[in-house]
Amino acid sequence: MDAYKDLISMVVRREMGVLGPEKTLALLPEAGIRVDAKGEVLSYTGPGREVLDKLLRLFGERYGLWAVVACKIAVLKEAARQNLPLPDILGTK
Amino acid sequence: MADLELDQAVEIAPGVYWVGFDDEAAGLRCNPYLILDGDEAVFIEPGSVPHFPIVLRKVLSVVDPRRIKTIIVSHQDPDLCAAIPRFEEIIGPDLKIATHSRAAILIQHYGLRSPFYHVDQNGWRLTLKSGRELKFIFAPYLHFPGMFMTYDPVTKILFSGDLFGAFSYDWSLYAGEYYDEAMKAFHENYMPAREILARAMAKLDGLEINLIAPQHGSIIRDNPRRYIDILRNLDCGDYMLD
């Protein structure tokens, strides 16, 4: 895991609130993410920026625009704070 | 706790009912409420046109609509105001619409017949026939310049308008374990700035609150102070990204 772990965890927690734990946890394996029952990220496969991008794209494709918008401001803010390049899906406002 | 029958009106406190629609397709649920007080009733945030038939059925299940003397709307958006003209036809001529003067000037464009009761011109309170007094708490720019919350000292319910609302595709009437995240998502997108939000939260300090009943999302009954503190400290608003 790399510096994107906090951002990925943030998205998982946020979606557990917005979409619910069942839908959120069901989608994570497709993005190569393993979490515990509380949504805490245990591991992921690949570069964090790409994993985060894939995760957000999957949520958007599966559950619509608001699944992405619900996370967007929080992720942008935290990425800026940590000086991390944004995933492509959030590259434009 | 027994499963709630969300197809029916739900009594959330003595004489206070949730009369909303469990609209599974909506990510932003709407929550109208009714307060019954003797032979008088107050209707809070009546709702949208698509929700009208279901909300009406629930209202009729708990009160003769002619007893509704006041509709309170915290701001002018269609998800809480658009059904008012339809309710006017059923409620009758003795109705007034309580809202801020800044909202009233917009709400009139829904084609209402009832007079306005401007909360900002009436001491930020509404006295019912029984003497019961509802208090209005000004929360400007959250997310409308005339936004206010309604506090009922009898039940200690804070009807919070859009504040404490949430995006919730996984909705429940009462807030669950992850509600804080859904609430943050809504406020980050709809509220203008942390300083403005914190100022409104400070007005709730010292207020005894049993339930927070927002117009969107879920009702908060477990530790309302925790949610107040979350919003007090939440960065929100797109301006931060410029």
B239 pLDDT higher than 80: no
Mutate to test the interface with B, among A14, A65, A68, A86 (most CBs of B within 10 A): A14
pLDDT tens-digit map of B159-215: 999 999 999 888 999 999 999 999 999 999 999 999 999 999 999 999 999 999 999
Q: CB–CB of B178 and A21 under 8 A?
A: yes
Q: Could you report the per-residue pLDDT of B199-209, keeping only the tens digit for each? A: 999 999 999 99
The torsion of the CA quartet B22, B23, B24, B28, rounded to 10 degrees, works out to -100
Its sign, for the CA torsion B223, B228, B231, B232, is negative
Interior CA angle at B191 toward B230 and B183, to 5°? Answer: 40
Instruction: Tell me: pLDDT of B67 over 70.
Output: yes
ipTM surpasses 0.90: yes
Q: Give tens-digit pLDDT for B82-96.
A: 999 999 999 989 999
Is residue B97 within 8 Å of residue B107, measured between CB atoms? yes
Query: Is A20 within 8 Å of B235 when comparing Cβ atoms?
Result: no
Rounded CA-CA distance B139/B169 in Å is 27
Confidence of residue A92 (pLDDT cuts 50, 70, 90): low
Residue B57 has pLDDT above 90, yes or no: yes
B26 in contact with A, Cβ within 8 Å: no
pLDDT single digits (tens) B149-162: 999 999 999 999 99
Distance from the B172 Cα atom to the nearest Cα atom in chain A, whole angstroms: 10
| Number of other residues whose CB lies within 10 A of the CB of residue A34 | 12
Contact of A33 with A41, CB cutoff 8 Å:
yes
Q: Is the pTM of this model over 0.80?
A: yes
Q: In the A/B pair of chains, how many CB contacts fall below 8 A?
A: 66
Residues 6+ apart with CB under 8 A from A24: A12, A15, A16, A39
Instruction: Check residue B135 and report its DSSP letter.
Output: E
Confidence of residue B242 (pLDDT cuts 50, 70, 90): low
Q: Tell me the shortest Cα–Cα distance from B223 to chain A, in angstroms.
A: 17
Confidence of residue B71 (pLDDT cuts 50, 70, 90): very high
| B241 reaches A (C-beta below 8 A) | yes
User: Is residue B23 very low, low, confident or very high in pLDDT (cuts 50, 70, 90)?
Assistant: confident
Please give, rounded to a whole number of angstroms, the shortest distance from the CA of B217 to a CA of chain A.
Answer: 10
- Give the residue with greater pLDDT, B2 vs B242: B242
Task: Choose among B69, B117, B119: nearest CA to B93.
Answer: B69
> Regarding predicted confidence, which is higher, A40 or B200?
B200
Q: Is A13–B236 a contact, with Cβ atoms under 8 angstroms apart?
A: no
